[in-house]
Amino acid sequence: MHIVSMLSMPDYRLKRLQERPLYILCPVMNPESLPNIRPMSEADLDAVLLIEQSSFPVPWKREHFQHEIASPHSFPYIAEYDGRIAGYVCLMSLFEEAQILDIAVAVDQRGRGIGRHLMEKAFEVAREKDAEFMALEVRESGLAAIGLYEALGFKRTGIRANYYEATENAILMEKNIKETT
Active site residues: 137, 149
Strands 155-164 and 133-139: unpaired
DSSP state of 107: G
> ∠ at Cα 68 (82, 86), nearest 5°?
15
Cα 30 to the chain's mean position, in Å?
22
- Between CA 141 and CA 177 the distance in angstroms is 26
Q: Is the separation of the CB atoms in 152 and 65 below 8 Å? A: no
Exposure of 76 by Cβ count < 10 A (0-12 exposed, 13-18 middle, 19+ buried)?
A: buried
Exposure of 16 by Cβ count < 10 A (0-12 exposed, 13-18 middle, 19+ buried)?
A: exposed
Alpha helices in the chain (DSSP H): 11-18, 45-55, 62-70, 114-128, 143-151
